[in-house]
Amino acid sequence: MEPPSRGAGTGLVETIKNYAYDGGILLGLMIALLAFLGAAWHSLTVYADVQNQRKPWKDLGAVVGVGALLAVVIICFLTKAADERTEPPVGGRLPELSARAAQP
């Protein structure tokens, strides 16, 4: 079995957290895939309505534009979520909160 993308970890709990991280990224990719397929399917149904002269061409352009924007936003969010630098600091506390807690 392959180790997780962040490494095997020093203990069992850390290894499980690393596998959960990989699972979360995979779940995000699956949601992005479903959103893309849904937008593509809706675009095809609107195109069929345009061909049957039930909808104007501007409706197809709007659907395709919103679908493309949706795909770009989801990819940006997935990239940000997968970035290693977005991990919380060790201890789970933000630095400014730790500095305030240290003051008397």
pLDDT in tens, the chain (104 residues): 777 877 777 788 888 888 888 888 889 889 889 989 999 999 999 999 999 999 999 999 999 999 999 889 988 888 887 775 445 555 555 455 555 555 55
CA distances from 48 to 33, 42, 45, 56, 75 (A): 23, 10, 5, 11, 28
For residue 53, the SS3 value is coil
Q: Is the pTM of this model over 0.75?
A: no
Query: Phi/psi of residue 87, each to 5°?
Result: -70, 145
Question: Residue 95, Cβ neighbours under 10 Å: how many?
Answer: 8
State how far Cα 26 lies from the chain centre. Answer: 9
